[in-house]
Amino acid sequence: MNNHLGAVCDEFYVNSRLHLKIEVMPEPEPVLRFLERISKSFPTMRKLRQREDGGVVLEESVHPRSPRRWLRLDPTSLRFGYYAIPDMAEIRTMADVILEHAPYYLNFSELNYDHLDVTYGFDLDFRGNHDQLLAETFWTDHPFAGLLLGEEAVHVIESQPYLGIALTQECDLQAYAEIRSRSSTYEVRAGDFDPGPISVYLTVRQYWGFEEPTSPVDTHRKLVEIADDLAGGRVVPILVNPLAQAIAGRR
């Protein structure tokens, strides 16, 4: 299945994060064996580095706008993602490999799983006041317009929406939509803006402990299916498309 979501923005990516309740950081040997196993499945993932905070990152070394995978291991989380995905089936394959082998090599326990996030990211490039654009695109017909776009407002410097819903009665399955701007007040004051993306994020989250135990692999597959439906039926038509049209109208 080709990535049709990438056609609606300048860059599309999927990031996942398995959160742990208790800090766990295996010894270097099992970590290296785990990363070697991942590298065997994805031979282009050969760039290994350690962050200043102790986290370990394995990634592809390619051009920033080219398809690229990454994986990061921290004491309280396992994260991985895929930027500029050519085919959505590839993120499913990547998640299956990582989440199948992580418990074995890293001694993860189901008792220690807190929640799993799957985030769809849509970046839309815009050189200008991001918050002003968001206010004029989404808040013009809203009661917030009286504040954001009233006579007193010389500039809009904060208008990022962050919304969340529960998808089950128990609230263990959740979805969040967020739009993140990147204009600084210095840029607004100077009237000189660096090029940068406005990001639309859709995050679907599953907590453990509310239903029959499921593996991280099965949980991730379920979250991707939900994210596909919400992205195509809600987030793209309600958030991404209006924003893309607003940006096109200012170029």
Q: What is the pLDDT of residues 67-124, one digit of tens each?
A: 899 999 999 999 999 998 888 899 999 999 999 999 999 989 899 999 999 999 999 9
Tens-place pLDDT, residues 186-220 = 999 999 999 999 999 999 999 998 877 789 999 99
| E strand or H helix at 31 | helix 28-41
* Token pair for 31: 């970590």
Tens-place pLDDT, residues 214-242 = 899 999 999 999 999 999 999 999 999 99
What is the average per-residue pLDDT within 180-188?
Answer: 95
C-alpha to C-alpha distance for 122 and 247, rounded to whole angstroms: 14
3 state DSSP class of 127 = coil
Binning pLDDT at 50, 70 and 90, where does residue 42 land? very high
Least confident range of 49-63, 108-122, 134-148, 168-182: 49-63
Q: What are phi and psi of 39, to 5 degrees?
A: -65, -30
pLDDT of 102: 95
Q: Which CATH fold would you assign to the domain 4-248?
A: Double Stranded RNA Binding Domain (3.30.160)
C-alpha to C-alpha distance for 219 and 208, rounded to whole angstroms: 10
| E strand or H helix at 223 | helix 216-230
Beta bridge partners of residue 12, listed in sequence order = 122
Torsion of Cα atoms, 162 then 138 then 12 then 129, to 10°: -100
Closest CA to 134 of 200, 202, 231: 200
pLDDT of 1: 42
Burial, 49: exposed, middle or buried (Cβ in 10 Å; 0-12, 13-18, 19+)? exposed
The answer on pLDDT for 171 being more than 70 is: yes
Binning pLDDT at 50, 70 and 90, where does residue 27 land? confident
Domain boundaries, given as residue ranges, for the chain: 4-248
pTM of the entire predicted model: 0.94
Q: What is the b/e burial string over 113-127, where b = at least 16 CB atoms within 10 angstroms of the residue's CB? A: bebbbbbbbbbbebe
C-alpha to C-alpha distance for 39 and 58, rounded to whole angstroms: 9
Asked whether the beta carbons of 165 and 97 are under 8 A apart, the reply is: no
What is the average per-residue pLDDT within 119-146?
Answer: 95
